[in-house]
Chain A
Amino acid sequence: MSSLTKSIKSIKFGLLSPEEIRKMSVVNIVTADTYDEDGLPIDGGLMDRRLGVIDPGQKCQTCGNRVGQCPGHFGHIELARPVIHSGFAKNIFLILKSTCWNCGRILLTKEDYEKYSRLMKKYKERWPHLCYKITDKIIKKTKLQECPYCGRKQYKIKFEKPTTYYEEHPEGNIKLTPSEVRTRLEKIPDQDVELLGLDPNVARPEWMVLTVLPVPPSSVRPSITLESGVRSEDDLTHKLVDIIRINERLKENIDAGAPQLIIEDLWELLQYHVTTYFDNETSGIPPARHRSGRPLRTIAQRLKGKEGRFRSNLSGKRVDFSARTVISPDPYLSINEVGVPLDVAKILTIPERVTKLNIQEMKKLIENGPDIHPGANYIIRPDGRRIDLRFPKDRKAIAESLDIGYIVERHIRDGDIVLFNRQPSLHRMSIMAHKVRVLPYKTFRLNLCVCPPYNADFDGDEMNLHVPQSEEARAEALILMLVQEQILSPRYGGPIIGAIQDYISGAYLLTRKDTLLTREEVSQLLINSNYEGELPPPAIKEPEERWTGKQLVSLFLPKDFNFVGRANVCNKCDYCKKEDCPYDAYVIIRNGLLISGVLDKKIIGAGQPESVLHRLVKDYGTDVAKEFMDKAFRLFLTFIDGKGFTIGIDEEELPREAKDRIRVIIEEAEQKTMKLIQIYNDGLLERLPGRTLEETLETKIMQVLEEAREKAGEIASQYLSEKNSALIMARTGARGSLMNLAHIMACVGQQSIRGERIHRGYYNRSLPHFKPGDLGAKAHGFVYSSYKDRLNPIEFFFHSMGGREGLVDTAVRTSQSGYMQRRLINALQDLRAEYDGTVRTTNGLVVQFKYGEDGVDPAKSDHGKAVNIDKIIEKMMGA
């Protein structure tokens, strides 16, 4: 590649003048036909060979280049009569409105004209961005009935979309032909054009009325040959054929002196074709259609929208060196790793330059070739020639010929840095750098702790992988994007990567007071967690030696680590007994020893600020935190695996006594509801402020029923065993809630649509099973049963209604928030925080004088604050 670099300082947009169009044209297109009987392009047709080559092997008639080289060349059509460019119709209208039809001067008094000219001159120097304001004002101000220059009376101009103009005369409206419009625009002197906001050097107003139409090169609208040998033309070519055909007819008719009416009809048809050629979705006219009835995809349609040139081809590029497949979990990987299937590793490559240090290794890779894993796919010689290692049989010889300075495109292998991504990429943690681990089978594998930042689960999710190709890219990915560098989220000052689900249950079970482990169990757990070091003395020596789970966790904490906090299982008692908490929820870590408290979501969970994980990252760095997650977390999983953690429906069974109590509660609630309805019917219900009587009744009923459900849930949880797995998960924050449990065991409760009881359905009732006007709980979606007791058909139906609303809501919300995200990103993507703390655009405009007004990086903050004074004091006092 030649290295002639130029930097673009500015871009100026203008209009193509007819002369320019003719100058850049290589051929005047005159016939609507494209190919002759032999299938050869017709000279002067739309596929004229001078417009550029599209078939491989041929040479361009204009520039002599072959397919990849020839840029394509424009042609032109001489229009028999001018037509309005529909894209500028509005501008033409404004200009016509504010200028004299006779002499073309702006319809301002001479004083005003002077004033605005002066202002415009001044603005051009000092505030060029604001010049349009003067133009706006001038256009608003031109209301003179008579031209101050030639004294002619002025008529009001009317604009009818998309391209018609009328002049209001006392005798009636007169249509202005494009020719008339063009002559008027021609008359406007350059100085007036400038006041109207155009630069006459590059955009004379009359150029908005087309007399010559550029014909894009054939490479822009290539024809395709179908398998049957039939040629199929591009939509643009079809449209151009229409234009030429009508243009020729118009020309013939004019030459033959046809009646004005016929000429005008043809002229309008030409206008229609040119308008739809630019934009086939112009409002006010029917879109031009293909023979099949499909609307044609013309110039504007090629650019616009999600599938348009901008969003699809310019902002959304496809890339090489990438892979995509289903993801699955692997707790035996480090959080920094990604498992890459062998088949993928044999296709993705990294270019490695051969040096005297790696030449032996590279030779081995070349010998292995593309099919044996640590191998190579290509060699690039210093002269730029590529050698494909797939075909030569004697790779050994090629390996021998390898020399320093060659580049080997070798397979990716363990330890290589790759970027891993899951869509939608909503925040920066959606793309993180991982280290490769080549593994058998066909899925990408990842540590479960990185599920939250990607928002990934394994119900069929797929992810993308990209291989950086340069040393710089790899270095940048390693230092800035590596998973462990992303533990702290800039969203809130806390870790976004951390324990989830079984990690939390496991940590809780392990660190509970009643967990006592034998030497064998301890050894098994620690070896599985890659622990290297001495076994601590057992916590209990007599009668047999036993270790606590807390002791094991302590082995993975830094020796000088101190922490105090409350776990998720904390009951939030009015008076906290701290170390003596009956739930063991008060976590104290002193000098790296877990003295009291259990580990659960609040302490090691993902997205928990002020947790152990947060302190580890902030005070000891990402390496320590990563090490903790790779080792201690494995301990939790090994423990829960060995112990066994499961639920069965019989565990959610309640004793008869509990069921009776729940039934009483619900019956009471039903009676209360009936009583409320009775009061309402008697007209004795008191209206709540701001509600109608009906609304008051609804709210009161909902309150009563909700209370009943809550009470039922409470009763159910009293009968649950402390060992119940679902209860443990709910308490520790691992998964599910007490409400979920209540739904399963006690009562599902009120189903709602838009926050109200279910009213829709039949006239005056929700289902035909009920009497019209029945206001009772049952008739409006209260589900008495629990999931375990099974729902009756009516309850099931109401439950489905509520469930459906939830689904629709999520669907609507995601699309709305997706669009908002797009707009925000478009607005903010080029802003950056500079070294002086300001936030600026690329051209140096200041947006904020101090990032976030306080200059704090939330990712490095303590829950949004630059310093956590409490923690500092705690530390000082402790020391």
Chain B
Amino acid sequence: MSKFDIFKHELVPKAVVLSKEEVEELRRLYGIRKEQLPWIRRSDPMCRALGAKPGDVIKIIRKSPVAGEAIAYRYVVPW
């Protein structure tokens, strides 16, 4: 079975899993705990495509009509 790469779809934003150091920097930048980020389920197609595990933080780079490019972060939770 061929697997469809969701990131090839134009409506799916780019996303990457952050490294430990990057997460640490992000936490310091916003002064928050990881759980205070918006959550995303591990079962979300984006997490599955990235292979993100619970506890990871993913960075999402979206197209934005007002800002051109907007960056968001998601904390991966189980389920």
Q: Could you list which residues of chain A lie within 8 angstroms of chain B, going by C-beta atoms?
A: 123, 126-127, 130, 133, 836, 838, 843-850, 852-856, 864
Contact = CB atoms under 8 A, between A and B. Distances in A.
Interface string B56-79: 000000001011001111000111
A847 B64 contact: no
Contact of A130 (B31, B70, B73, B77): B77
Contact of A849 (B31, B66, B73, B79): B73
Interface in B26-79: 30-32, 36-38, 54-55, 64, 66-67, 70-73, 77-79
The DSSP consensus for interface residues of chain B is loop
Ranked nearest first, the 4 interchain pairs of A and B with the lowest CB-CB distance are: A854-B67, A853-B70, A853-B67, A854-B66
Given A130-B78, A130-B79, A846 B36 contact: yes
A847 B77 CA distance: 17
B77 A127 contact: yes
Contact of A845 (B31, B38, B55): B38
Contact of B64 (A123, A133, A845, A853): A853
A856 B66 contact: yes
Contact of B32 (A133, A846, A855, A856): A846
B79 A846 contact: no
A846 B30 contact: yes
A130 B37 CA distance: 16
Interface residues of B, number: 18
Nearest to A840: B36
Contact of A844 (B36, B67, B72): B36
B78 A127 contact: yes
Contact of A852 (B31, B32, B66): B66
A849 B72 contact: yes
Which of B31, B64, B79 has most chain A Cβ within 10 Å? B79
18 contacts: A126-B54, A127-B77, A127-B78, A133-B78, A836-B30, A843-B36, A844-B36, A845-B36, A845-B37, A846-B30, A846-B36, A846-B38, A847-B38, A852-B66, A853-B64, A854-B66, A854-B67, A855-B67
Contacts of A855: 67
A838 B72 CA distance: 11
A127 B42 CA distance: 13
Nearest to B68: A854
A554 to B, nearest CB: 38
B66 A838 contact: no
Given A845-B38, A849-B73, A854-B67, 13 more contacts: A127-B77, A127-B78, A130-B77, A133-B79, A836-B30, A845-B36, A846-B30, A846-B32, A846-B37, A849-B30, A849-B70, A850-B70, A852-B67
Contacts of A847: 38
A844 B30 CA distance: 10
Given A130-B79, A133-B79, A853 B66 contact: yes
A127 B36 CA distance: 12
B52 to A, nearest CB: 15
B68 to A, nearest CB: 8
A847 B72 CA distance: 10
Contacts of B66: 852-854, 856, 864
Contacts of B71: 849
A849 B60 CA distance: 11
Contacts of B32: 844, 846
Which of B37, B54, B66 has most chain A Cβ within 10 Å? B66
Nearest to B64: A853
Contacts of A836: 30-31
A136 to B, nearest CB: 10
Nearest to A845: B36
B64 A854 contact: yes
Nearest to A852: B66
B77 A850 contact: no
Contacts of A849: 30, 70-73
B30 to A, nearest CB: 6
Nearest to A122: B78
Nearest to B67: A854
A127 to B, nearest CB: 6
Contacts of B30: 836, 838, 846, 849
Interface string B11-39: 00000000000000000001110001110
Contacts of A864: 66
B8 to A, nearest CB: 24
Contacts of A130: 77-79
Contacts of A843: 36
B9 to A, nearest CB: 21
A472 B40 CA distance: 42
Contacts of B79: 130, 133
Contacts of A854: 64, 66-67, 70
Nearest to A856: B66
Contacts of B31: 836
Nearest to B29: A836
Contacts of B64: 853-854
Contacts of B38: 845-847
A850 B68 CA distance: 13
A58 to B, nearest CB: 53
Contacts of A853: 64, 66-67, 70
A852 B36 CA distance: 19
Contacts of A856: 66
Nearest to B38: A846
A846 B72 CA distance: 10
Contact of A850 (B36, B37, B67, B78): B67
A663 to B, nearest CB: 52
A131 to B, nearest CB: 11
Contacts of B36: 843-846
B56 to A, nearest CB: 13
A854 B64 CA distance: 9
A844 B27 CA distance: 13
B21 to A, nearest CB: 19
A170 B32 CA distance: 59
